[in-house]
Structure 1
Amino acid sequence: MRTLTYGMNVSLDGYIAAPGDDITWTAPSDELFQWWSDRVGETDLALYGRKLWEAMSSYWPTADQQPGVTPAEVEFAHRWRRMPKVVFSSTTGTVDWNTRLVTGDPVAEITRLKAEDGGPMDIGGATLAAAAMRAGLIDEYVLATAPVLVGGGTPFFTALDNWVDLDLVETRTFPGGVVLTRYVTRR
């Protein structure tokens, strides 16, 4: 059975995007960027909601060909293109770059994918992750908490019907005051 991890950059007040989908405050240090890149390299399958897919697919497929690109960005672009991805959307028509589109029930498909043999899966996008969270499908939460208060926007966590007990498994501080915490779901 595969594990499913929900991880994102998050503001101290709990948002993954400020009002207007502003994510300019999430620019990672080189060290944090490398941590996320290594995570992509270890991910067997990434699950994306539409908005996150649109953001990622608008930049990373050709990022390694842009002027001034860093070696770390080249590495991330290559890893991102190689990594199998599933996009959940009822409005997106086509996907590319080693990606499959699912237009049906995300909870049913994520449940099916988790039951398969294979390596770890990551899930990203607030709406998609919220559905998986409410269904009890997330095994691990990774928060890269930035020292900024954005006052509103897209929350990392959704409203839940029941508590989810977690165990802290890692804490790490990155340059710029970003604190990474990893929690596993207590089953």
Structure 2
Amino acid sequence: MRKLTFGMNLSLDGYIAAPGDDIGWSVPSDELFQWWSDRVAETGLALYGRKLWETMNSHWPTAAQQPGVTPAEIEFARRWLDMPKAVFSSTIGTVDGNARLVTGDAVAEITRLKAEDGGPLDIGGATLAAAAMRAGLIDEYILATAPVLVGGGTPFFTALDNWVNLTLVETRTFPDGVLLTRYETRR
């Protein structure tokens, strides 16, 4: 069975985006950016909700050609383009690049993908991750918590019907005071 991980940058008060989808506060240090890039290189399949897909796909396919691009950004762009992706949406008709569109029941498809052989699965996008979280499908949570309070916006965690017990498996401090914590779900 494949492992499903939900990880994102978030504010200390638990938001992945401030009101108005503002993520300006979450620009990672070079070291944290490299950590995320290495995760992308290890991902067997990334599962994206529409909004996160549109954000990532509007930048990374052409990032390597932008003025002032760094070697780390070029490496991330290559890794991101090479990584297989499944985009879950009922409002868009097509996706491009190394992605396929999933329009049906997200929980059923994620359950099916987890049962397949292959590399680890990463899930991104608040709505999609919330559905997987409520269904008990997430095996690991990665929180890169920035020392900022944004006061509202898009929460990392969704409301749950039942408790989810977790085991802390890693903590690491990055420059700028970002604390990375990884938790595995106790089953």
TM-score by length of 1: 1.00
State the partner residue of 2:57.
Answer: 57
Count of matched residue positions in the alignment of Structure 1 and Structure 2: 187
* Structure 2 match to 1:44: 44
- 2:42 is aligned with 1:30: no
Shift, 1:92, TM fit? 1.2
What is the letter of the counterpart of residue 138 of structure 2? I
- CA offset at residue 97 of structure 1? 1.5
Task: Tell me what 1:74 maps to.
Answer: 74
| Deviation string, structure 1 residues 68-126 (Cα, Å, up to 9, x no partner) | 10000000000000000000000111111100000111000000000000110000000
Following TM superposition, where does structure 1 have runs of at least 4 consecutive aligned residues deviating by more than 4 angstroms? none
Which amino acid counterpart does residue 79 of structure 1 have in structure 2? Answer: R
Pairwise CA RMSD of aligned residues?
Answer: 0.4
Q: Distance in 1 between matches of 2:33 and 2:131?
A: 27
| Correspondence 1:164 to 2:164 | yes
What residue ranges of structure 1 are gaps of 5+ in the alignment?
A: none
**Percent of aligned pairs with the same amino acid:** 85
- Note the residue ranges of structure 2 that are not aligned, 5 or more in a row: none
CA distance in 1, matches of 2:170, 2:61: 31
State how 1:79-98 maps to structure 2 within 5 Å: 79-98=79-98
Q: Name the SS for the 2:129 alignment partner.
A: helix
Pair 1:140 & 2:133 matched: no
How far apart, in 1, do the equivalents of 2:55 and 2:23 lie?
11
Alpha-carbon separation, structure 1, partners of 2:136 and 2:46: 18
TM-score (norm 2): 1.00
Q: Matched residues in 2 for 1:93 and 1:47: separation?
A: 17
Q: Aligned with 1:75: secondary structure?
A: helix
Q: State the alpha-carbon separation in 2 of the partners of residues 61 and 138 from structure 1.
A: 28
C-alpha separation between the residues in 1 aligned to 2:96 and 2:170? Answer: 34
Offset at 1:142?
0.1
Q: Which residue of 2 aligns with 1:180?
A: 180
